[in-house]
Amino acid sequence: MGKESIHTEKAPAAVGPYSQGIKAGNLVFVSGQMPVNSKTGEVVEGDVTEKAKKCMENVLAILAEAGMTADNIVKATIFLTDLGDFGRVNEVYASYFKDSYPARSCVEVSRLPKDVSVEIEVIASS
């Protein structure tokens, strides 16, 4: 099975040895997306809800480049630096889905790149 790198200008560029996303067969693996503006490279202003929204917008931009939407997400992982933010992030996350929710993990971590408070990665299937 071959793999194909996915890249879009509508999400932040990779800042290390990784791809925004990889398509392998009918699966797309989206690298963890932080609340970063793709044009400026800066972390967006606002509270954790605004930051979670930007993470999801970045995820969806990469999926769109692969011809997919939130409906294609089968697994998500959310990383938080404060599990106390879980409820607010959960509300934002849930707003992106209509019928059934993907499988999901949410974990608290000690630190994330750029000292952001939230990062979201997904796996999608066509």
List active site positions.
106
Q: How many CB atoms are located within 10 Å of the residue 118 CB?
A: 28
The Cα–Cα gap between 22 and 40 comes to: 24
Angle at 57 between CA 31 and CA 78, to 5 degrees: 50
Q: At what angle do helices 86-94 and 48-65 cross, to 10 degrees?
A: 40
